[in-house]
Structure 1
Amino acid sequence: MKDHWLALLLVVGAALFVPAASAKIVEEKSGYVVTTGTDNLRLPEMALSGTQTISQGQTQSYTTSVPRGKTSFFADLNWGVSSNSLALTITAPDATLGPYYDAADGRIDCRINLRITKTSGLESGT
């Protein structure tokens, strides 16, 4: 299999703002509501970025710590190479959400930009 160089950007943060009117529900599962993200991002509480190599069928994993009391965070996977296709799966301590593909956020743009919320509070931990 041929390796593909992909620029990956994963942004996860609870300090981001999304206007409620712009969000579309993508999935509801186990109390979680996954909606479309936004391009109007403020600085997140945590950002992971880097350039990785990935081949078809491989998985790259990233983790973040969710503090107690948070009710939402963003996942933003941006690979920028239209000839490649990635999927995003969110694994919480109490549920697995996804997989989500390029069009999950309403746009086909080599980016999966989602907001994950749980009104009762996200499970704290990794």
Structure 2
Amino acid sequence: MNEQKGVTLIELLVAVAIIGVLTAIAYPSYQSHILKSYRNQAMGDLAMIQLEIESNRTNGTAYPSSIPSDFCIVCDNSGERYVYTVTSTATTYTLSATKTTLQSSDSCGDLTLKSTGETTPANCWK
């Protein structure tokens, strides 16, 4: 009898189907982790900017009305995921990280950090 070696079409289709199912399960989880990592980066950036603002305030400088580019040299200032802004008065300020299109599917929304230490959305800063 002539014995054939190789993979049948059915076996190949089963392998492709298994890979498809694994990919369908893994990709959303991967995307979730990517969004969370960029959110954590934005939270860290807001904290770094807050430190710089408070440092300047102790030197007698008023709270800024915009974020100078040299305030946080390690921050992600590209604007690809978040855009950072500050709203200030003589005695308070609010830092905001507004998400852009690349971060639009992040369920946490825009991040804020106030001079009082209050953060919103609170459940995302845990």
Which TM-score applies when normalising by structure 2? 0.27
User: Relative to total residues, which structure has the larger helix share, 1 or 2?
Assistant: 2
Structure ID, larger Rg: 2
**Which structure is higher in strand share?**
1
Report 1 or 2 for greater relative contact order, CA contacts < 8 Å, sequence distance ≥ 6.
1
* TM-score, normalisation: structure 1: 0.27
